[in-house]
Every structure is written in C-alpha cells, then in structure tokens.
Amino acid sequence: MKNALLTILAAAMTLGLAGNAQAGRDYDGGRYEDRNGRYEFAEVLDAQPVYDRISVPYEREVCYNERTYHHEPRRTNTAPVLLGAVLGGLVGNKVDGGDHRAAGTAIGALVGGAIANDATRHKNRPGRSYPVDRERCEIRTDYRSEEQLTGFDVTYRYQGEVYHTLTREHPGDRMRVKVSVVPAEY
C-alpha cells in the first residue's frame, strides 16, 4: 500500500510538471526546451546547393518515309473478245449459207470469241505492283537528363564547434539546432 501511494504521488508530480511545460515545450529567452532537449540557434557559415541528376520524360514527333507497294488490279479488256465474236458470227453466217445459218452464226461467234480471248490473254496480265514512299509520323517518349536541386550542404557553428548537415531548404544566416544531453550507458 505504501509503494502504491508513492507511485501515485510520483505520477501526480510528473503530470503537474508536464502540464506546466505547455505541451512539452517552454520558451526561455531564445531557447525552446522539451523533454528531449532544447532548441537554440547556430550561425550558418556556408550553404552549398546539392543537385541530383534525374531523367525527365518528354514526347516528340518522329516522321520517316516508309516504303509500301501499291497493287493495281488486273485489267480485263472485253472489246477484242466481243469483236472476235461478231467477226466469227459474220464468217459463220457466210460459210453456212443454207438452212443452218443461225447455227453457223452462233458457232462462228463462239469460235471467234474464243480465238480473240486466247490472243489477248497475254495482254491481260495480273495487276502490277510498284513501290510508293509514304511519310509516317508517330509520337515517341524520350528522356533527357536534368539536374534537380535536392537540398543544401550546410556548414554551421555552434558554441565554437563547426558542424555539417544536409537541409531541404536554404537555412539563411542562422539555423535552429536541437541540443540534448543523454546519459551514457555503461
């Protein structure tokens, strides 16, 4: 019971001290203090920018000539076949001048058309192909290397000692430092 009373008394004292510390910090003539140390100001001696190389994407249009082949369809000329059929019909009509004149005309037209078709077959070649250059354009993503400011290498002095640190922003003429005393463990 005596130990429990001492524990409660110690806790109350600790809470009372913490309540007076304005959420863990006190301001005392240029110093801020909290449970983990105090904050003071140090003189900045030098602040050099630090850059990193990064790859930045950008889009560009690329145009080039592309060779394709144009195919013309096969040409068919029916005029010689028709002319051959007409001439064959006339010849068939004159050759068979008798009772079978119509049959002779029909046979002559068929034979004349077939002869004309065979004669023009070598002229009716398959379609021809020839090369054609066409411009093609596309969007490509390339990358360029850039330097990007990532922070500052700061040299500062606190109580006669010189220190170095990296900061994200330029600190100005002075910077806030945290001072703490921690017991060494043995």
Q: What pLDDT tens digit does each residue of the chain (186 aa) get?
A: 445 444 444 444 444 444 444 444 454 455 555 667 889 999 999 999 999 999 999 999 999 998 888 877 766 666 666 666 666 666 666 665 666 666 666 666 666 667 666 666 655 556 678 888 899 999 999 999 999 999 999 999 999 999 999 999 999 999 999 988 878 886
Tell me what pLDDT residue 164 has: 93
Residues 101, 154, single domain; the answer is no
Q: Please tell me whether residues 35 and 72 are part of one structural domain.
A: no
pLDDT of residue 183: 80
Q: How many CB atoms lie within 10 A of CB 31?
A: 12
Looking at the structure, do residues 63 and 42 belong to the same domain, yes or no?
Answer: no
How many C-beta atoms surround the C-beta of residue 2 within 10 A? 6
Backbone dihedral angles phi then psi of residue 181, each to the nearest 5 degrees: -115, 125
Q: Are residues 36 and 99 in the same domain?
A: no
Whether residue 69 sits in one domain with residue 131: yes
Q: Which of 53, 69, 82 is nearest to 133 (CA)?
A: 69
Residue 2 counted as domain residue: no
Same domain as 173, residue 154:
yes
Residue 167: the pLDDT is 94
Total structural domains within the chain:
2
**pTM of the entire predicted model:** 0.40
Which tokens belong to 54? 């990064």
| Residue 161 domain-assigned (yes or no) | yes
Domain, as residue range, for 65: 59-140
Residue 36 covered by a domain? yes
Assigned domain for 6 exists = no
Does residue 10 belong to any structural domain of this protein? no
pLDDT at 53: 93
Within a domain: residue 159? yes
Shared domain check, 162 and 128: no
Q: How far apart are CA 86 and CA 77, in angstroms?
A: 16
